[in-house]
Structure 1
């Protein structure tokens, strides 16, 4: 453990941010899985509503700095393409 007060604080802050980032990433993964299962089931309506929720979650993660903006854009594009592929 560090002896300097600022180092101790940095350790605590890093742990807090790591936990928050893990929670946000987990939420994003869950929302993506919901969209993918709806697409596999060929349920257009469920896929559309899940996509809306997923985009919101992903965009929030990007604005918090958990994901890079290009990563956010790629995830949204892939999900949108998958949903649009349902006949």
Structure 2
């Protein structure tokens, strides 16, 4: 445990930030899984809505630096492909 006041503060702030990042990442994974289950059940309308939610969460995570912007772009592309194959 740190003794210096600024080091104590850094530990507290980094713990808060880590918890926040974990929550955002967890919500992102949940949104993606929700979309994939709707695609698996061939529900086009709810899959479209779930895709919009997943894309929004991916963009937010990329803007915050949680995931790389190219990784977010790649995942969005793959999700969109899944929806397009379902619609076709």
The answer, yes or no, to whether TM exceeds 0.5 is yes
Q: Give the TM-score, by structure 2 length.
A: 0.93
In 2, Cα distance between equivalents of 1:15 and 1:53: 27
CA distance, structure 1, for counterparts of residue 61 and residue 19 of structure 2: 14
* Residue of structure 2 in register with 1:77 after alignment: 77
Shift of 1:60: 0.9
- Asked if 1:55 corresponds to 2:65, the answer is no
Q: Which residues in structure 2 correspond to 1:1-87 (within 5 Å)?
A: 1-86=1-86, 87=88
The TM-score with structure 1 as length reference comes to 0.94
Tell me the distance in 1 between the aligned counterparts of 2:16 and 2:83: 35
- Larger mean Cα displacement after TM superposition, 18-27 or 67-76: 67-76
Unaligned runs of 5+ in 1: none
TM-superposed deviation, 1:67: 1.2
For residues 78 and 14 of structure 1, the distance between their equivalents in structure 2, rounded to whole angstroms, comes to 33
In the TM superposition, residue 4 of structure 1 has moved relative to its aligned partner by: 1.1
Unaligned runs of 5+ in 2: none
